[in-house]
Chain A
């Protein structure tokens, strides 16, 4: 960080200024003039929070995608379908048992098992053929989408969080000032905050797993050079299966989260596939911190876009991708 500051003093100053302005926007009571220009602070804070929590959800989906790509060079275009399947599994488990928390391990196990099957029966047979693997994942996603439409119908399913997580929570962020001088504090749904905290925990856990354990070491070595890794005697096929299962399972967990945030319905698979594609392109292929950064950027862009210029919200996301591709084709935190 210090090295970055001494190398790019101008950029550091600019970033520091942006952070300062952002902090002021978040914590200060907005003066009248500002409210007239960009609207009420409540709207701004809500967009910010929604963006960050949506970023958490995107991170959950995209981290599995980027992990699988980084190790196996397999662009798993069926990732959105895995997400959707996780959502359905989570909904039915939560519905039958009545325990919301049980939906997460159930979705993780079911979708992870499907991931293992896919890796063993499909991708192992065509190792090293990138294009063919990708085409197969497209085929799988078409078939899965139709099977799920067949099985679950076109209805919207909503996973309801338990009592202790429902309802709003008072935060310490000021949204405005009453005539009497009392400060008004922002209210925000507890479940979103809880889920965001969980995704941060999962992200940190994944980073620790990758950077501090023996398995993580093997995965990182495989990302760099898998032939060399297998030559050293590591059982690379086992690592592949494990990573694929873990990445798929994460998509399943994300499906439960998405079903609680929003809803589970046909078409969501494509939406989240697109989101993870953009997140991974922006953040950098195969990089977990990149996925986190990309997810945050895209989540914020989507929410602010839909609040402040609704007809062009998609363009904002797209523009971020274009700018990153134009100036840093390997992604913000990707390696060239």
Chain B
């Protein structure tokens, strides 16, 4: 009886409730993010953090494909822009001749559906070849999307795109208000982060990582390699699509420039700077990128350089990261932790 009792408590202690298993760092970060509106001003909330979460989500979709699927796709920004375009076309915008003006509960799911369908087709094309070809094919598709939206006036309204694309007036909240938009983007960023974490540990995600490491062996085990890769594209497109709709609402407009070659490559830069190994990396990269983009001009001018040299700064920073730490900032962090855990004399791991 007594033995039984201790065994029960023992199992209960190892199987702590899920809420107790969340590490302390998550609580701190979560609380800090939730409390942010109390001490940050509107500009920081709307421009810095809103934009960080959105770019982070798009880069997260790239991280999912590249980190777990081994497919570096440059298509994610175009998918985001496509979702934005679809919301503008199916929903309401200032271009009344093209916009259909359907309610949000029709236009948003439809926009996401179109985005996922397009990504599935592109993914199916891209996975027909392997490895390094993926970058080329997705870059070609992304630039074709850019040139097409710029040329086409019937559906995509050409060079100027759509403006006046506003979020629906749900629950009587103005979702473009700084605080509301902050929480909206925070919510979706958290959802996509958790979704990617969950999927990466679910059977599908594990099989995808197996496909990344050894496609032939996975095929021999009976997994459909192509289907897993295409499904990864579809899942990533969903995240990119949600982010694209948020991005369109943030600036209230979407135009070919949204998915120009510059932004398309920027997403890759963000994901690589942050680190392609773990889903938190893209958000770190996005924060660095947004901070640089917002404040680099002032810093450059104060150093006596022209403010337009921002791209140069980004490019050199990217080169430095790729050269010395291919896993991005997270890789640097890991290496630092690894080194700290070792004894400086013997090089062996210290007991903790």
Contacts and interface: CB of A to CB of B under 8 A. Distances in A.
Interface residues of A, number: 40
Interface residues of B, number: 39
Interface in B130-148: 131-133, 135-137, 139-141, 143-144, 147-148
B147 to A, nearest CB: 4
B126 to A, nearest CB: 8
Contacts of A317: 144
Given A73-B132, A132-B322, A150-B312, A278 B153 contact: no
Given A314-B147, A315-B148, A317-B144, A329 B268 contact: no
Contact of A139 (B148, B151, B306, B322): B322
Interface in A274-317: 274, 277-278, 280-281, 285, 310-315, 317
B318 A139 contact: yes
Contacts of A130: 131-132
Contacts of A149: 308
Contacts of A132: 322, 326
Contacts of A329: 128-129
A201 interface: no
Contacts, number: 104
A131 interface: yes
B152 A134 contact: no
Given A75-B136, A318-B144, A325-B137, A136 B129 contact: no
A322 B125 contact: yes
A146 B311 contact: yes
Chain B interface SS verdict (over half): helix
A140 B143 contact: no
B139 A274 contact: yes
A190 interface: no
A137 B129 CA distance: 21
Nearest to B326: A132
B103 interface: no
Given A277-B136, A277-B139, 5 more contacts: A134-B72, A142-B318, A274-B144, A318-B141, A325-B137
Closest 3 CB pairs of A and B: A142-B315, A143-B315, A139-B319
17 contacts: A75-B132, A75-B135, A75-B136, A131-B135, A132-B322, A135-B272, A135-B322, A139-B315, A139-B316, A142-B311, A145-B311, A150-B308, A150-B309, A278-B140, A314-B147, A321-B144, A325-B129
